[in-house]
């Protein structure tokens, strides 16, 4: 007899039928009530054992973490806290769990502890909820683009180019580190390496994405990207997933519209498809907040915050306007910012972004037209303004509690301007000659952006450490499991 998943049983409207349940024991109370979870729901099903007619030796093996199979009748529950339960006629143990050794006890564990046993934390309610939400957001991303006829491109992970300059890179090699081959000049001979040259892990699929967009029109990537930066923060990972759409014939305004639609679409999808999980995470946060002083508590709970994002138009502001707002702001005047804003050209820090979003506009903000100096070489150059300032058609989308969720721009489609800028910032033309071909043969206005997927998951789950929203986080000195 096949088993039925618990999610289905919990939603059953007919009672009386015989069912088989397989799952893991969460708790066992009074030698009678087994709470079983099979991962399909964050809710357990209660199995009621006829303990007087069950072997004691069998009952003793019903411990937290053990895998069990129960067969019985699905009935309406008379107890509190559940609508249905299984009146057990057959109980068997599929796999034991020694209660002395199983690290997950039926109590609250700290997230830090769970991070150390990342291979088992999937069995907790909080990580069940987090990874269900992550799954829903992933699917929503694909569905959003599919509905709009975008082509999903798998851009390469291993790259021979290190010119994008988005960050420090990891080397990929098959050279024997104990016996590095050298050429006649005594330099490392990468001709002996697997790809016949020096290769790294990608920091972005954008450049390859542009190639595809300048042929297929609208494309997106959704894949892993890497930074070999020694940042031990709650917002950085060495390996993380990015979504990077790239659209031919899009100007910056179209780009902003698309990014805002995408974010709203996926948040709405998660709210509609992960009600149980988001409600659980919402309650979890409310509990956490109780321990904080009143002043530090959030004004909105998680669900309200998500709904608020859906109903707000994101505020579109130029960098120059933002600098004026920040200059005049109380924390700047009172020197409460760590980095004071005193002139145009300053790079915005997290504290400034958060002030704009959380205090000033109180909603997601799209900042545009950044100084060219602090942005990448491939961004479209605006005309120099009346003060002689050079800006580019960049856009960053800032979210409450997160900071930068999206970074994007219209791309510089003019070959000459692009070459000049590359020379100014020292990007060697030879390395990107293939990329420049898009500007040589039928160039056209085009735009794109990148979404840090884990930051999106952070926002929707209300988690605060990015290591808690990816299954197996990779950070400096940590590549466990």
Q: Are 469 and 452 in contact (CB under 8 A)?
A: no
Q: Smallest distance, Å, CB 128 to a second copy?
A: 7
Q: Smaller CB distance to a second copy: residue 101 or 387? A: 101
Q: Are 346 and 320 in contact (CB under 8 A)?
A: no
Please enumerate in sequence order all residues whose Cβ is within 8 A of that of 12, keeping only pairs 6 or more positions apart, or say none: 74, 84
The DSSP call for residue 355 is I
Residue listed under structure tokens 């088993």: 3
Q: Smaller CB distance to a second copy: residue 319 or 435? A: 435
Q: Smallest distance, Å, CB 475 to a second copy?
A: 8
Both structure tokens of 457: 């998951």
Q: Smallest distance, Å, CB 138 to a second copy?
A: 5
Q: Smaller CB distance to a second copy: residue 12 or 228? A: 228
With b for 16 or more beta-carbon neighbours within 10 A and e for fewer, the 412-448 pattern comes to bbeeeebbebbeeeebeeeebeebeebbeeebebbbb
Q: Smaller CB distance to a second copy: residue 206 or 332? A: 206
Q: Smaller CB distance to a second copy: residue 77 or 273? A: 273
> What is the Cα–Cα distance from 243 to 241, expressed in whole angstroms?
7
Q: Smaller CB distance to a second copy: residue 371 or 445? A: 445
Residue listed under structure tokens 């040589």: 440
Q: Smallest distance, Å, CB 284 to a second copy?
A: 18
Q: Smaller CB distance to a second copy: residue 82 or 173? A: 173
Q: Smallest distance, Å, CB 41 to a second copy?
A: 9
Backbone angles phi, psi at 354, to 5 degrees: -65, -35
Residue listed under structure tokens 């450049």: 207
Beta bridge partners of 37: 24
Q: Smallest distance, Å, CB 419 to a second copy?
A: 15
Both structure tokens of 382: 């605006």
Q: Smallest distance, Å, CB 276 to a second copy?
A: 13
> What is the Cα–Cα distance from 61 to 31, expressed in whole angstroms?
11
Both structure tokens of 238: 């060495």
């Amino acid at each position: 007899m096949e088993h039925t998943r618990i999610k289905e049983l919990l939603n059953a409207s007919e009672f009386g039928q015989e069912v088989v349940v397989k799952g893991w024991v969460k708790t066992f109370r009074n030698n009678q009530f087994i709470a079983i979870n099979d991962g399909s729901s964050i809710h357990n099903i209660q199995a009621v054992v006829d303990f007087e007619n069950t072997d004691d030796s069998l009952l003793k093996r019903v411990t937290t973490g053990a895998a069990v199979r129960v067969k019985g009748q699905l009935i309406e529950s008379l107890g509190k806290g559940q609508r249905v339960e299984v009146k057990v006629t057959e109980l068997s143990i599929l796999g034991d769990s020694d209660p002395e050794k199983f690290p997950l006890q039926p109590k609250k564990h700290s997230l830090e502890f769970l991070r150390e046993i990342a291979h088992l934390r999937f069995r907790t309610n909080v990580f069940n909820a987090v990874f269900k939400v992550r799954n829903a957001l992933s699917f929503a991303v694909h569905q959003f683009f599919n509905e709009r006829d975008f082509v999903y491109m798998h851009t390469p992970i291993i790259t021979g180019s290190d010119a994008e300059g988005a960050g420090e890179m990891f080397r990929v090699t098959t050279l024997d580190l104990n016996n590095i081959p050298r050429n006649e000049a005594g330099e490392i001979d990468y001709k002996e390496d697997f790809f016949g040259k020096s290769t790294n892990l990608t920091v972005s699929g954008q450049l390859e994405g542009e190639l595809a967009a300048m042929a297929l029109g609208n494309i997106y990537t959704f894949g892993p990207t890497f930074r070999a930066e020694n940042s031990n923060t709650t917002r950085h990972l060495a390996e993380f997933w990015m979504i990077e759409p790239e659209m031919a014939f899009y100007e910056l305004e179209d780009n902003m519209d698309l990014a805002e639609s995408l974010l709203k679409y996926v948040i709405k999808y998660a709210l509609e498809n992960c009600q149980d999980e988001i409600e659980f995470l919402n309650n979890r946060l409310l509990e956490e907040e109780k321990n904080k002083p009143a002043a530090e508590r959030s004004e909105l709970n998680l669900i309200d915050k998500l709904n608020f994002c859906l109903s707000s138009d994101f505020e579109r502001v130029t960098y120059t306007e933002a600098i004026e707002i920040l200059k005049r702001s109380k924390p700047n005047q009172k020197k409460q910012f760590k980095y004071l804003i005193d002139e145009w050209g300053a790079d915005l820090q997290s504290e400034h972004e958060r002030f704009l979003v959380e205090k000033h506009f109180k909603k997601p903000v799209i900042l545009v037209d950044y100084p060219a100096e602090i942005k990448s070489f491939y961004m479209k150059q605006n005309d120099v303004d009346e003060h002689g300032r050079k800006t580019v058609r960049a856009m960053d989308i800032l979210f409450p509690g997160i900071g930068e969720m999206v970074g994007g721009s219209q791309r510089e489609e003019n070959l000459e301007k692009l070459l000049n800028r590359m020379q100014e910032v020292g990007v060697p033309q030879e390395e990107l000659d293939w990329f420049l071909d898009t500007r040589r043969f039928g160039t056209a206005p085009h735009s794109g952006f990148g979404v840090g997927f884990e930051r999106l998951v952070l926002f929707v789950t209300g988690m605060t450490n990015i290591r808690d929203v990816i299954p197996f986080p990779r950070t400096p000195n940590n590549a466990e499991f």
